[in-house]
Each structure stands twice: as C-alpha cells, then as structure tokens.
Structure 1
Amino acid sequence: MSAQETQQTPGTPAPVHGHCDQRFAAVREAFTENFRERGELGAAVAVTVAGETVVDLWGGWADAARARPWERDTVVNVWSTTKGPVALCAHILADRGLLDFDAPVAAYWPEFAAEGKDKVLVRHLLSHRAGLSGLREPHTLQELYDWELTTARLAAMAPWWEPGTRSGYHALTYGFLVGEVVRRVSGLLPGAFLAREVTGPLGIDFTVGLPAGDAGRAADLVHAPAASRGEQAAVFSQPAPAAVAALTNPMVGAAQANTPGWRAAEIPAANGHGTARAVAALYGVFAGRGAYGGRRILSPRAAERVREGQGSCRDLVIGAGFEGETEIGLGLWLSGPQRSYGPNPRAFGHDGFGGSCGLADPETGVSLGYVMNRMGPRIADDPRKTALVDAVYRAL
C-alpha cells in the first residue's frame, strides 16, 4: 500500500487515510474495525519498526458534530500518554550526570523536604511511589494551571503512604513532581526542555499544552457514551483517600480538556498534544535503545534503565482496574502478565485516560502511537488500543 493510498471501508464513518505496509495489513483491518465495531469517532495510529514507519493511518472526525474530518496533521490531547515524554526528560538529565535517581528529591528541590519527605528519592517520583498521588487540600482547575502554586502545595504536603513501599498512580501530580525536578536541574519546564532536546531536533509534532496557533487543527475530546458511564464510575469508585485525591482533586474530563485554559497550561502528566506519528516517534526513542531518526537521545544504558522495575504490587489508586499486580519502571509501565503492551513482558509504555497509548518494545524494535478523541471509560487497556497492539504482534 503506497504512502498516498486512501482506503474506504463499508461501514466506516469516514474514509481511512494514510499508508500501511502490506505485512501489517492486520493493523489496518483492526483500525477500520475500531470505527465499525468499537465506536471510534476520530483517531490515528502509527507504528515504527527499527525506526522505519510501517503504519501511518488516520480517519474519522475531529469533532462530535462530524463536521471536521480528522486530517494528517490533526493533534489531540493524549492525557497520560504524555508521561512517557516527561520521563524521557528526566532520563536525559540523568544520562548526562546532572540528575541522580537515587538522590533525595530535596537535593534538587529543598522545599520538598517538608513533612518528613527528606528521604523521598527521585526514583520514587518516576515510579509513582512518592505517596503524593493527589493533594490533600482542595485544588481547583484554575489552581492546577498555576505551576508555582501546585508545586508549592506538593512540596508542603505529607505523603498519603510511606514513600517507596508501593505504587499509587500519580494521575496529575506526576507531571508537576518530575517536571519541577527537571526545572530545578535544567532551568526549563518539561515542555520547553522536551522541545529543545527532542521534539525540535527530530521534528516531532508534540507539545506539552497546545500553542494558540495550533488550535485550529486540534481535535475535540468527546465523553464516553452514556452506556459506558457505569463502567467509568466503577473505575473511579476507589474508597481510599489517596485514590480520591488522585482522581478527583480536581476532576477533569473531556469538557475541561477542550478549553483554552487547559490547552494553554503546562500539565505534564496529562495535556500533551500530538499526532499518532509523534507519539510513535517519542516512544521510538525507547524502542530504539536511545536512538531515533539518526540521532542518539539517550545512551543504550540509560534507555534500558527506563524499564527498571520498581516492584510489582496492586496499585493503591487504580489497582481495582487490573487483575493481579502491575509494575512500573522508572517512568513507564511494564507490559507484564497483563500483556498491556504486547506479549513481551518487558515491553513498556503508557496509556492515556480514555484510550490513547504509546508503546516501546526494544526486543522487536517496535514503537506504536495511538490517539483518538472519543474517550472510552478506562484509564488503560482500552479495547481499541488492545486490538491494534494485538494486530501489530500478529504481523511480526
């Protein structure tokens, strides 16, 4: 199938455009089936193998009214799939000897030592083990947009559990915690650091937040269908205070993410905007053992360290959404027995709330980016993503 080929499939709400190597025809079939069978509205998927793009497809609609087709350069908020690129920023600094993952966070951010957090390590931030899954005091959406206020409150608070003992998903706080360390070390917020060190040199269409000039090509997020709200409620019905704080303080969803305020803010755990092509490229740095597009971003040793497991457990925040235990490396989730990122248990990646995904598998050289605007009810392992991942591995 050539790079200019367009495929029209009966039952698909809009044509699917792009290219797909014949070997990966199963991915094209799964992508079109997502529209036909799984309620897809607008989406894109890209797959690279050893840095070569073998799948680059997009289709559907960029808005709920189905007035704007999803284009080749449509970008969309990818929620927590943003966390992979933010982790990459920290690993670049560590690779250069500027950041020690085994050092106390307070060595770089002295105010963080308050409330007995002087022994919390940088690795605890990356692996969601800092005990700071959400703020204790009420925190509004407008306050979340204030970097200085949010990081000051995190520095001043007491942990919900003993840091380092187990993971509890830091849904929104992760980006401020890791991001403030990046800022203290480099002088740049993670969005600017990523642009300077990775996306700018490699020409990757991904930003933390959305530049005002790109608003016209941004897809609108759409809430999960009403029939799925019960499942969504079950995901969020976690009784533990640490989980309530992580997932509801403040509560954010599609409506909030479509506003100019959200798009203009720096929320490195949740408001990265990009194409599937961009997500595949960023996770391709990990799949390429630190190299992508002819450039070395990380040393092979540093790239391998990303998936250094920090211990499996039932996560304190989202554990009820998974069967058995899960394990987080230094910034990304391992595929593990759940096969979240394919059959290789040491493949790794990150999902975004509602469906998006970035995947890296250094053993096969595969990276994948999947982005969409019709949010499903799950925090991770959306059936649309799973269908695409399974199709990739069937083709290998």
Structure 2
Amino acid sequence: MDIQGEVADGFEPVRDAFVRNFEVLGDRGAAVAVYRDGRKVVDLWGGVRDADATGADAAPWERDTAQIVRSATKGVAAAVPLLLHQRGLLDLDAPVAEYWPEFKAGGKEGALVRDVLAHRAGIPALDRPLTPAQAADGISGPRAVAEQAAFWAPGTAHGYHPHTFSWLLGELVLRVTGASLGKWLAEEVTGPLGLDFWIGLPDSVAGRVGRSAAAEPPRTSNGLKTRPRREVSEAYADPGSLTRRAFAAISPLPDENDPGYRAAELPGSTGIGTARALAGFYAATLGDVEGGGRRLYTPETVALAGRELSSGADRVLVVNTRFGPGYMLHGPASPLLSPASFGHPGRGGSLGFADPEAGIAFGYVTNTLAPSVTADPRAQALVRALRSTTP
C-alpha cells in the first residue's frame, strides 16, 4: 500500500495502524490527521478516491480528497449552537419553543435546547418518514419534527437522534440567526479557519469528493468477522423497533453519492471534508492552530463541550452511551482517547474528536463504509495507536 503524507517523530504507530487498516481491515481509500497542541503531527492518506472503482478507473486518493463523514458531521455542527451560546445569543436552558413556537406541539413544550443537543428531545423517529427529497428541502424536516409527538417526555431519557437531529438543530439555528447552519458554519468557522469542510457541498469543489461504497464486515485482530450483540442486531432488524424507525426517518435510504444529497444542508449527516479539516476543526476548539487558525472555544466552552448531559441506556442504539451538548463522549459505545475527549463518530467509519487534557485533535475519514455505527474497528485501531504515543 502506497501511503502518502508524513508523521512527526513518535507518532509512527499511527502510520503503522493506518497501513494495517488497508492490509487487514478492508480500507480502500482513507485519510487520517492528528494535531497536538495546535501543531499537525500526522497527515496521511492512501488508497483510491472512489471505493467502487477498479482497474484503470481507480484514481488515487490525493492530498485534498474529501469524503462524506455521515454522523461525524454532528460534532462539527455542534460548534454552531455552542458558539451562539458563547456569544450570548442562545440559552441552552431555554425551551426550544422560545425560539421556535411551532415546536411545542405533541408534548414537547418542556424540551430545552440542551435536550436537543444531548439527544433527550424525545423525537428520534417520525411516524411518517420523509423521502430523501423532502429531507433535503429545508421545509419538510422541520415541519415534521415540530408536528411529531414525543416518544418520551423530553429530558427524562435519551436516545440517539440519527436523522431528526438535522432538522432540530438546523431549524433552531435558523430561528436564532436567520441563516442556515451550513452557511453560518462556512462564514464563521470553516471559512475563517481555512478548513475544507462543508455542510452543503458547493459545486466548485464537487470534483474533489470520493465515492463511498459498502465494506466487507469488519474483522477482529484474529481475522474473524465481528458480530453485534444479539439485542442490538434484533433491534436493527425489527421494523417496529425505535432503533429501526429512527434510522428510517428518511426512507428509502438516501444515496450519499448523489450530488443533490451532498448539496443538502443536513447537520446530522451530510458533512463532507478532509481528515485534515476534521482534525483541524477539533484543534481549533482547543486553541490556536499553526498557520494562523484562531481558537474557537473559550476555556468555559471547552469544559461545556465535554460535560456529560446524557448517560446510560440509549433507547435507540440499545447500548450505553454518553453525550454532551452535541458531542458523543468517551465510553464503551465510542471509545475516544480518554474520559476528557469529546467528538463524534460517523456510521460507517469516520471519526473526529478533541482531547483537552492531551491537547490532541483527531480526524479520520474513509470511503469504505462498514456496518458499524459508533466504534468502527479501523478508527479504533488508529485511536489505540494514538493512545500509545500520548504520555
């Protein structure tokens, strides 16, 4: 495998793990980047740009190749409400209906902004799923979640909101700022920081984005295919389960290689970027970044990002999860670098996070989509290797 890029002295185990992801764990095209104390120490890429390409059509993954990161988008999108809160424009303890009056229907009048961010709002699914076109039109999604009756009293339990998070967060930001979340992010965060990350892909960069495709089932270190716990697999297989209904809030499943879907501003799923941008974003949450990037979060907001708001049994993922305001926190469902870490995985493999104690920021993107939802074996192999380099 021809791996491009560089690693700083002491971070060679990350390169070794990245190579092994191709040789053993089935990666076809991927990139990984790590910052430490604002300095880039890992920047690697390899494989092919399009996971479904073969032979002469298999163009290489290049330095600026970008890829859809699915739910890892949520961690980047979370910067918008946290920055609005940091600037005094959004009260996390206010009812959602204070900003979005139509939302109070269906027993949701008690839902707070922090409930939305911590997957406690009680509407992970829709009684009437949306088509991909409706999901992307900017109107149907917010209307559907506003009209949807809560599956539990908001704030009393938590369950991952895979798709509805997009419409909840997007509409909330629109009501507060008058701008779409993707536009606000580009103008206030990714643009000023020079990050190649978009929620709503511009036509001008569409040619840099690789095509994704399904991977073979992941294997353990001894080469055996992994299997989910029985109760988890049963929840995903049961059409009536909240798990299945939550992931089917958009039905049929969107084609994430479709240009229209990539251009949609869905803060829970359509983020597209490079591993360098994903890691660079998390580096900027912690402090200044080499090359002129200024820190995004005050120390108080960094502490808030890693503060546990939800923990324990997840009504959708059917495992124990931990969430802060918009971020998944270190735990059994998604092991990160340490208990101080905050970030978000993407279904299929991608992962981004920051660790304030170690000063580490991490980004991994792949075009080879595994069945994993939270703890992808390839991402976890890289995290373990990174952990071995951290004092």
Q: Same fold (TM over 0.5)?
A: yes
Q: Secondary structure at the match of 1:124?
A: helix
- CA shift for structure 1 position 326: 1.9
Q: Deviations over 1:283-338 (max 9, x none)?
A: 223343xx54541322210121012111311111112xx4xx22111111111356
Q: Which amino acid aligns with 1:318?
A: L
Alignment correspondent of 1:30: 17
Q: Secondary structure at the match of 1:19?
A: strand
Alignment correspondent of 1:340: 335
Paired residue for 1:71, among 53, 62, 65? 62
Do residues 381 (structure 1) and 369 (structure 2) align? no
Alignment correspondent of 2:310: 311
Q: Which amino acid aligns with 1:306?
A: A
Do residues 249 (structure 1) and 245 (structure 2) align? no
Q: Which amino acid aligns with 1:295?
A: R
Alignment correspondent of 1:394: 388
Contact 1:38 1:384 survives alignment (8 Å): yes
Aligned counterparts, 1:222-233, within 5 A? 222-225=213-216
- CA shift for structure 1 position 22: 2.1
- CA shift for structure 1 position 54: 0.1
Q: Secondary structure at the match of 1:327?
A: strand
Identify the range of structure 1 (297-306 vs 374-383) with the bigger mean alpha-carbon deviation.
Answer: 297-306
- CA shift for structure 1 position 360: 0.8
Aligned structure 1 segments of 4 or more residues deviating by more than 6 angstroms: 226-230
Q: Distance in 2 between matches of 1:339 and 1:82?
A: 15
Aligned counterparts, 1:350-389, within 5 A? 350-389=344-383
The number of residue pairs the alignment matches comes to 375
Choose between structure 1 and 2: higher helix proportion: 1
Contact 1:337 1:345 survives alignment (8 Å): no
Q: 1:167 to 1:239 in 2, by over 3 A?
A: farther
Q: Distance in 2 between matches of 1:100 and 1:250?
A: 30
Q: Distance in 2 between matches of 1:243 and 1:26?
A: 36
Normalised TM-score (structure 1): 0.90
What's the % identity of the aligned pairs? 44
Q: Distance in 1 between matches of 2:374 and 2:237?
A: 16
- CA shift for structure 1 position 153: 1.1
Q: Which amino acid aligns with 1:307?
A: G
Q: Which amino acid aligns with 2:244?
A: V
Alignment correspondent of 1:204: 195
- CA shift for structure 1 position 30: 0.3
Q: Deviations over 1:70-102 (max 9, x none)?
A: 000000100000001111000000001110000
Alignment correspondent of 1:3: none
Q: Secondary structure at the match of 1:313?
A: strand
CA RMSD of aligned residues (A): 2.0
Q: Distance in 2 between matches of 1:334 and 1:285?
A: 18
Aligned counterparts, 1:1-396, within 5 A? 12=1, 15-63=2-50, 64-66=52-54, 67-225=58-216, 236-237=236-237, 241-251=241-251, 256-288=255-287, 291-292=288-289, 293-319=292-318, 322=319, 325-336=320-331, 340-342=335-337, 344-396=338-390
Q: Which amino acid aligns with 2:297?
A: L
Unaligned runs of 5+ in 1: 1-11
Q: Which amino acid aligns with 1:300?
A: P
Identify the range of structure 1 (300-309 vs 382-391) with the bigger mean alpha-carbon deviation.
Answer: 300-309
Q: 1:373 to 1:244 in 2, by over 3 A?
A: same
Q: Which amino acid aligns with 2:70?
A: W
Identify the range of structure 1 (279-288 vs 60-69) with the bigger mean alpha-carbon deviation.
Answer: 279-288
Q: Secondary structure at the match of 1:258?
A: coil
Contact 1:287 1:362 survives alignment (8 Å): yes
Q: Deviations over 1:375-395 (max 9, x none)?
A: 011101111000100111101
Identify the range of structure 1 (217-226 vs 120-129) with the bigger mean alpha-carbon deviation.
Answer: 217-226
Q: Deviations over 1:253-302 (max 9, x none)?
A: 6x7000122112111100000000000011223343xx545413222101
Q: 1:316 to 1:234 in 2, by over 3 A?
A: same
Q: Secondary structure at the match of 1:154?
A: helix
- CA shift for structure 1 position 156: 1.1
Q: Secondary structure at the match of 1:200?
A: helix
Q: Distance in 2 between matches of 1:143 and 1:183?
A: 18
Q: Which amino acid aligns with 2:327?
A: L
